[in-house]
Amino acid sequence: MIEPEDLRSHRWYGGGGLRDFSHRARSRQLGLNPEEHLGKPVIAILNTWSDINPCHLHLRERAEQVKRGVWQAGGYPLEFPVATLSETFQKPTPMLYRNLLSMEAEEILRSYPVDGAVLMGGCDKTTPALVMGATSAGLPAVFVPAGPMLRGHWRGETLGSGTDMWKYWDEKRAGTIGDAELSELERGLARSPGHCMTMGTASTMTSAVEAMGLALPGAASIPAVDSAHHRMAAASGMRIVELVWADLKITDVLTEAAYADAVTTVLALGGSTNALIHLVAMAGRGGIPLRLGDFDAAARKVPVLANIRPGGEHLMEDFYYAGGLRGLLSRIPDLLHLDRITVSGKDFGSTLDGALVHDDDVIRPRGNPVAAEGGIAVLRGNLAPDGAVIKHLAAEPRLLRHTGPAVVFEDYGDLRRRIDDPALGITEDTVLVLRGSGPIGGPGMPEYGMLPLPEHLLARGVRDLVRISDARMSGTSYGACVLHVAPESHVGGPLALVRDGDLVTLDVPGRVLRLEVTDEELAARRASWREPPPKYERGYGALYSEHITQADEGCDFDFLARAGTNPEPDPR
């Protein structure tokens, strides 16, 4: 336990100098009496609420409940609005700005009189960004997940955000539904605040963060609009104050064992491929080596137990009623590190005590998994020397061992212009290749990886092809999509050398992605390859392009990922 004089904020308020006098005077300007806040832990609430982010629409109100908890526990809450990363609206992709939010989070925590932080996020990139920044800042922290939205509905069917949008858009292109049905779907897909309620990146990452022990037990599964979500927010506010007094820092919680359990959790959930990039980046901020090979090794022994779309059938609301993440984790205790500390104050194993599963179809027993092995595989070969990723759980099994001729698109614009051109001769055997979509080339590695199929194949009932790119894919997407090919084509990765008609082999059981072209021919093609011009000439985009790392390294900025310490500000 620490004393009030040991609080970091004491250096701003507690002395007899000019600056302390100024800080106290300005606190009175804020309307505070000294006894209300002096000597109390100052809790920064980093809130990614915005009018433009429907996934976080409730976080403005929820911050008030966090504050309630902080005050009740004897702390002093301060809300900081930080960049919202709205997966739907921000272009070219919020991934371009994940590191920017992480920098903002870190520097706010560093530069203000803050003793602990409550991190409020959920929409895809907000979770890793906040955790990355808070890890670099190194203070005590609790994550408050935004929670999933309610199920979608249409004509008696439940709809999953993202997943069913892609599905019915293909049906529209295939001509099986028309504008009237699409208009109804538009009204039924997203019915409440909260992040995507499929096992997309949002549910994957908030669940991973809870499993690591940075959120209160059970927090990530609670629907955004459930009253339990209000109570969880208040309890998180109370808990962060206790963590400050206990001096339990985020880096004490997010250990190597915690990251190993995050990987296991993602796999057991049938989670998003984006988790591979984000967890590598998050771990890197804590100096923890996490590699693609760690995911693949775990994937061979972790069963998929969550039967949630896009890899399964149900939605996050069903998952919550079935027992939520605690229920799922209680089925794989032998695969987890149970004796590590969590922000709840209990060890991880104790947080699972009493967890129950109420629906064996939503959270499958070990004897009846959705898939016996984790649904994600890491591929290597001459087409992806530094690795590529596929969520084979959500792919048609006939394509998991496949050799076919490539049809190559230079970038997403080229793809959109030509994909329906019959002259391309695309068949069920074709391998669609998209380049120019990586961390630098995209830019920002947009979620183009579920390449659309040509209309003539959709009309014939074809719903999947092998698709290869250096892009990412929404966690709500599906199909035989090989993603994150590294190095990316923009920096001369072998994807840049593929030509129409080249044979490409995908062998998921063998973990191989191979271009069936001789080394001599590839060397000749490389000799004539020219690096494309930079996407950005100035500003944040130029900074991003100069410092972003490749997908296998987490797409962090090199200057953020490296080890080192920065001086604490001297408030006096």
Q: How far is the CB of 457 from ligand FES (least distance, A)?
A: 27
Measured between alpha carbons, how far is residue 58 from residues 47, 235, 439 in Å? 11, 17, 31
Q: How far is the CB of 437 from ligand FES (least distance, A)?
A: 19
- Binding residues among 228-287 for ligand FES as defined by CB under 6 A: none
123 binds ligand FES (CB under 6 A): yes
Tell me the chain's radius of gyration from C-alpha atoms: 24
Residue with smaller CB distance to ligand FES, 24 or 195: 195
Q: How far is the CB of 365 from ligand FES (least distance, A)?
A: 29
Stretch that binds ligand FES, among 192-200, 257-265, 436-444, 520-528 (CB under 6 A): 192-200
Residue with smaller CB distance to ligand FES, 87 or 317: 87
Rounded to whole angstroms, how far apart are CA atoms 115 and 245? 9
Residue with smaller CB distance to ligand FES, 189 or 506: 189
Q: Is 382 left (phi over 0), alpha (psi -120 to 50) or beta?
A: alpha
Rounded to whole angstroms, how far apart are CA atoms 498 and 223? 45
Q: How far is the CB of 317 from ligand FES (least distance, A)?
A: 15
Q: Are 493 and 465 in contact (CB under 8 A)?
A: no
- 70, two tokens: 């902080």
Residue with smaller CB distance to ligand FES, 135 or 204: 204
Phi, psi of 320 (to 5 degrees): -65, -50
Near ligand FES by CB under 6 A: residue from 87, 106, 552, 556: 87
The residue behind tokens 């300007």 is: 29
Q: How far is the CB of 534 from ligand FES (least distance, A)?
A: 29
Measured between alpha carbons, how far is residue 112 from residues 13, 109, 115, 405, 522 in Å? 12, 6, 9, 57, 54
The alpha carbon torsion through 206, 207, 210, 211 (nearest 10 deg) reads -150
88 binds ligand FES (CB under 6 A): yes
Degrees to nearest 5, angle at CA 531 with 528 and 533:
140
Q: How far is the CB of 332 from ligand FES (least distance, A)?
A: 25
Residue with smaller CB distance to ligand FES, 277 or 292: 277
Residue with smaller CB distance to ligand FES, 274 or 430: 274
Q: Which of 74, 127, 129, 71 is nearest to 97 (CA)?
A: 129
195 binds ligand FES (CB under 6 A): yes
196 binds ligand FES (CB under 6 A): yes
Stretch that binds ligand FES, among 29-37, 195-203, 269-277, 517-525 (CB under 6 A): 195-203
- Binding residues among 7-26 for ligand FES as defined by CB under 6 A: none
Q: Are 405 and 431 in contact (CB under 8 A)?
A: yes
Identify the three-state secondary structure at position 273.
Answer: coil
Residue with smaller CB distance to ligand FES, 122 or 237: 122
Stretch that binds ligand FES, among 101-109, 194-202, 253-261, 310-318 (CB under 6 A): 194-202
Residue with smaller CB distance to ligand FES, 195 or 392: 195
Q: How far is the CB of 126 from ligand FES (least distance, A)?
A: 8
Neighbours of 539 (CB within 10 A): 8
Give the DSSP H/E element, type plus range, for residue 507: strand 503-507
- Binding residues among 288-347 for ligand FES as defined by CB under 6 A: none
Q: How far is the CB of 467 from ligand FES (least distance, A)?
A: 21
Stretch that binds ligand FES, among 2-10, 196-204, 273-281, 309-317 (CB under 6 A): 196-204
Q: At what angle do helices 201-212 and 274-285 cross, to 10 degrees?
A: 40
Measured between alpha carbons, how far is residue 461 from residues 175, 454, 465, 482 in Å? 11, 11, 12, 22
Stretch that binds ligand FES, among 193-201, 307-315, 339-347, 442-450 (CB under 6 A): 193-201
Residue with smaller CB distance to ligand FES, 273 or 545: 273
Phi, psi of 69 (to 5 degrees): -65, -40
Q: What is the total residue count of the chain?
A: 572
Size of the site for ligand FES (CB under 6 A): 9
Q: How far is the CB of 68 from ligand FES (least distance, A)?
A: 26
Residue with smaller CB distance to ligand FES, 127 or 236: 127
Rounded to whole angstroms, how far apart are CA atoms 404 and 269? 31
Residue with smaller CB distance to ligand FES, 88 or 382: 88
Q: How far is the CB of 188 from ligand FES (least distance, A)?
A: 16
Residue with smaller CB distance to ligand FES, 189 or 389: 189
Residue with smaller CB distance to ligand FES, 206 or 549: 206
Near ligand FES by CB under 6 A: residue from 104, 106, 115, 124: 124
Contact flags string 34-73 toward ligand FES, x per CB under 6 A: ---------------------x------------------
Q: How far is the CB of 309 from ligand FES (least distance, A)?
A: 13
Q: How far is the CB of 312 from ligand FES (least distance, A)?
A: 17
Q: Is 155 exposed, middle or buried (0-12, 13-18, 19+ CB in 10 A)?
A: exposed
User: Partners of 390 in the beta sheet?
Assistant: 377, 482
Q: How far is the CB of 419 from ligand FES (least distance, A)?
A: 24
Rounded to whole angstroms, how far apart are CA atoms 65 and 293? 41
Residue with smaller CB distance to ligand FES, 449 or 571: 449
The conformation of residue 78, written as its DSSP 8-state character, comes to E
Rounded to whole angstroms, how far apart are CA atoms 407 and 457? 15
Near ligand FES by CB under 6 A: residue from 113, 133, 200, 271: 200
Measured between alpha carbons, how far is residue 254 from residues 7, 136, 139, 209, 287 in Å? 22, 12, 12, 9, 10
Helix (H), strand (E), coil (C) string for 323-385: CHHHHHHCCCHHHCCCCCECCCCCEHHHHCCCCCCCCCCCECCCCCCCECCCCEEEEEECCEE
- Binding residues among 413-472 for ligand FES as defined by CB under 6 A: none
Binding site for ligand FES (CB under 6 A): 55, 87-88, 123-124, 195-196, 200, 202
